[in-house]
Amino acid sequence: MTNRRTFIQQLSLIAASMLAQPLLASTEKHDRSIGLQLYTIRDAMAKDPAGSLAHVSRIGYRELEAATYTGTQKFYGYTPSAYKQLLDQYHLHQVSGHYILGGLEKTARSPLGSIQNGWEKAIEDAHKVGQQYMVCAFLMPNERKTLDDYKKVAALLNKAGEQCHQAGIQFCYHNHNFEFQPIERQIPYELLLKETDPQLVKMEMDIYWVKKAGQDPLRLFAAHPGRFVLWHVKDMDNTPRHFFTEVGHGIIDFKTIFAHAKEAGMQHFFVEQDQCPGDPFVSITESYDYLKKLLA
């Protein structure tokens, strides 16, 4: 019987040939595939995953990024094989998934399915559903108090990235705005970029949070070309609050940003709206329709 260690070793043989070439040979096909981060419809996914995925498919989305797994080691209540069947039924591909760190050190309270606890199984399960990416989604406040904390995080990301690399999966880090708040006159996000291996740890740029932090996505693309393989396409409204809104309803210049996709290294992007004013399915439809026209 194949155990998990043997499974990872077998994947490494496959990955050796896959990773000898660029992760995806061209962005021409993939930069026109509009993806969805399922966190946007999290309440619907919790109540009725199958019905929610059917609705997403009817809108026109074909690529997904998951927002669950850590803590349950399941995908929206499904085992990897059952979830993959559900995705196939609705002609969907889960390209990526979000995970949490689980602490700067592994403890008894590190949740299953986190980078610190059960990561090998998480990689195995991601492979079973066909994921190409695994993403560290968020750092808890107690994981990012000091620059030394960020250095510890970088080391953990490198280790997680190496494990993913051996299985033919690309590891990434997803930003919010707190990484741009200076600590001891240093920007933690720049530290993460410097301290992580650029091949093992790519970046998923959340464009909204970069702009919310007062940063310029184009400057980051130019400074670190090829590093930003995944994007969260999330718009910002034109109010003093600068809150979330449907893509195309806000003030972010996505036309210009998408013109720099090749420089960024973007391979896939996902619509995300943390909070919607009404029915999230209406919001994701409006975002999809805008992007379809923009990228036509």
What's residue 17's pLDDT? 41
Residue 120 to residue 210: CA distance in whole angstroms: 31
What's residue 26's pLDDT? 34
What's residue 4's pLDDT? 52
Which CATH number is correct for 30-294, 3.30.930.10, 3.20.20.150, 3.30.1490.20, 3.40.30.10? 3.20.20.150
Residue 284 to residue 41: CA distance in whole angstroms: 9
Domain ranges in the chain are 30-294
What's residue 18's pLDDT? 40
What's residue 2's pLDDT? 47
What's residue 32's pLDDT? 58
Q: What is the pTM of this model?
A: 0.90
Residue 150 to residue 237: CA distance in whole angstroms: 31
Residue among 281, 210, 217 nearest 36 (CA):
281
Q: How far apart are the first and last CA of the chain?
A: 49
Residue-wise pLDDT tens for the chain (296 aa)? 445 554 445 544 444 444 433 333 333 333 359 999 999 999 999 999 999 999 999 999 999 999 999 999 999 999 999 999 999 999 999 999 999 999 999 999 999 999 999 999 999 999 999 999 999 999 999 999 999 999 999 999 999 999 999 999 999 999 999 999 999 999 999 999 999 999 999 999 999 999 999 999 999 999 999 999 999 999 999 999 999 999 999 999 999 999 999 999 999 999 999 999 999 999 999 999 999 999 99
What's residue 45's pLDDT? 98
Residue among 262, 30, 23 nearest 132 (CA):
23
